Amino acid sequence: MKIEMGIETNQKMKPLQEMKCSNVQYLFFDIDDTFSTHGKISQNAYSSLWNLHHHGIKIIPVTGRPAGWCDHIARMWPVDAIVGENGAFYFMMKNGKLQKYYLISDDEKKLNRLKLEDIKNEILSNVKKVKVAKDQDYREFDLAIDFAEEVLIDDQDEKLRTIDQIEKIFKNHGAISKVSSIHVNGWFGCYDKLNMSKELAQNEFSLDLNQESDNKLCIYCGDSPNDAPMFNFFHLSVGVRNVLDFQNQLKHFPKYVTQNKYGDGFKEIADKVISSRV
């Protein structure tokens, strides 16, 4: 560990200032606690999206948030596409119309919803304090269990035990689960944020992200354990400062870290990308 400006950081993560990104054309980013700050999107963070847009950067949120949110974001935000529900789909506007790309058929989705209902009932019966996420009604593919958005668990050890209990129940039913800063999301199906981001990049931007030359045109920024595969895959990956809260839970670290947390950290990344292009 090293001390930087009075804050302990992991040696695997370099300061954002050291990142060379003059060739970057695409920004993939998490929303909760990366772009948002304590559940709100600040003026600075949202303005930075427009600044990136005006400088020709392609903007792609990659989130665990539901299809209903993603419909709105694709239509209303200055983004080029959005990956939602941890990789179940991507949405984007084309010629003024919302286009949706799904990996799972309607029949398979209906069957999975029944299985997730059983998991939900088991979690609520056996895990104290947690709730179904308030945005669950707008989800098409996964089950989101709230442990830190509107649920308050002050003790960190208790919170980690709670997360572990939830994940074990998902696993016992053969479901995949991922932990964000606020929810444990679980689903059935062979998809995730990374593979859907690759699919989107290939289909819509003719990018092969497995190729180093194309990968280096992109940045990914996030904040929590479910971002670890993205941190590992992208040559340019950045954690906003609050990623340090999860150092003991990260399987892979971002290559760089911002000085600021949450939306201010996102603005820092946006400013770095824009200034590198001027």
Sheet holding 256-257, edge to edge: 14-15, 256-257, 237-239, 218-222, 26-29, 58-61
- CATH topology assigned to domain 106-187: Hypothetical Protein Ta0175; Chain: A, domain 2 (3.90.1070)
| pTM greater than 0.75 (yes/no) | yes
Query: Do 242 and 223 meet the contact criterion of CB atoms below 8 Å apart?
Result: yes
pLDDT single digits (tens) 122-166? 999 999 999 999 999 999 999 999 999 999 999 999 999 999 999
Matching CATH topology for 2-103+191-277 and 106-187?
no
User: 172 Cβ partners below 8 Å, 6+ apart?
Assistant: none
The CATH number that domain 2-103+191-277 falls under is: 3.40.50.1000
Residue type, 260: N
User: What mean pLDDT, rounded, does the chain reach?
Assistant: 94
Q: Please check the confidence at residue 9 and state whether its pLDDT lies above 90.
A: no
Smallest CA-to-CA distance from 234 within 260, 206, 253, 261 is with 253
Q: Over 89-104, what HEC string results?
A: EEEEEECCEEEEEECC
- Domain residue limits, the chain: 2-103+191-277, 106-187
pLDDT single digits (tens) 182-228? 999 999 998 999 999 999 999 999 999 999 999 999 999 999 999 99
pLDDT single digits (tens) 92-118? 999 999 999 998 999 999 999 999 999
pLDDT single digits (tens) 67-77? 999 999 999 99
